[in-house]
Amino acid sequence: MGGATSLPQVSLTTDHVVLITGGNTGIGYETAKWIAMMGARVIIACRSEERAKKAIEKMQEEFEGEKSKSTPGVCSRETLAVEFMKLDLTSLKSVESFVESFKAKESKLHILLCNAGIAMHEQEYTEDGFEIMFQVNYLGHFLLVTKLLPIMLDSGEDCRVILVSSGAHQAASFDLGKAQGKHHTKESFKRLLYYGNSKLYQIMQMYSLNRRLNTTNVTVNSLHPGIVETEITRSFTDLMLWKVFLGASKLLQVTKTPFEGAKTSINAAVNPEFKDTRDAYYMDMRVKQANRLARDQEKQEALWQYSIDCLKEFLKPEDLNFLNKG
């Protein structure tokens, strides 16, 4: 496949456990497929078992194609080690159930890629009462990371958490009193702003986590995959301005394919050069800098406490003892 040689040439084994949320479509699909083709065992966590199984079948077919072409970096295994586990980030109970299932079957986790997300969704609230982009993009992943960190801390050297954020964080604001957008009507709800906020929070979480993990084997980094043509656009097809923007981006050849968008995720997750790298915001496979608002430590800690308060029903005392270190 064109462009495969630009990926890091890494040989992994099935002892290397990788978890990717939203790994059945778009950027997540390509990320899961290529890391699995490097030899790792990959778990894709998403809502639909049917869609996940179809995605895995497609991965296997494409794997055969890559092997027949002797694509560099592709392992020689007979079949890919990819499996499905159910996770619905719109439900914190689902996140909790997922973690219990994961811990019951897995003793190691080396890479956690928080990839699932929704963009510019209209105003809607989850069963937990949170604005849907806030929960799917940020809070659900916050809970997932927190609950899986003990396993990662016990999984040997060079374990990585990768938060798939967005350049939309540049258009964000920070006001936790309005974080859920309930002061808006459906008509006045600013979809780009709240999407950008959810992506800003991911980057802020990166800094907060690294302060608490800075002497451990676990690193946390974030990234902007670029303007990628994926199913994420389905939530804002009614917004004419964005349809025009995406159309213009295609004409100007600024948009990326899901594979091109996934390259930054793959690189951040497995490139040996990035061992011990923390607080990086990757873009086009290179380390860049997030905006000043994202780097504000006082606001990062305010968000940290707000998030813990949001999750008080799901975080046990031992979770809080760990989280409040530092």
Active-site residues, by number, are 195
The rounded distance, in Å, linking the Cα atoms of 197 and 115 is 16
Q: Secondary structure of the chain: what % helix, strand, coil (to 5)?
A: 50, 15, 40
- Scanning 16-164, the segments in alpha helix (DSSP H) are 26-37, 49-68, 92-105, 132-133, 140-153
| Straight-line distance from the first to the last Cα atom of the chain, in angstroms, rounded to the nearest whole number | 46
Contact status, residue 144 vs residue 20, Cβ threshold 8 Å: no
Smallest CA-to-CA distance from 267 within 227, 231, 221, 230 is with 221
Q: What angle do the packed helices 140-153 and 191-213 form, to 10 degrees?
A: 20
The rounded distance, in Å, linking the Cα atoms of 112 and 110 is 7
Q: What 3-state class would DSSP assign to 233?
A: helix
The answer for residues whose C-beta is within 8 angstroms of residue 103's C-beta and 6 or more apart is: 151
Q: Tell me which residue has tokens 């303007």.
A: 227
DSSP secondary structure, 130-145, as one string:
SBHHIIIIIIHHHHHH
Burial of 324 from C-beta contacts in 10 A (0-12 / 13-18 / 19+) = exposed
Q: What angle do the packed helices 49-68 and 26-37 form, to 10 degrees?
A: 50
Burial of 70 from C-beta contacts in 10 A (0-12 / 13-18 / 19+) = exposed
Smallest CA-to-CA distance from 45 within 13, 83, 16, 81 is with 83
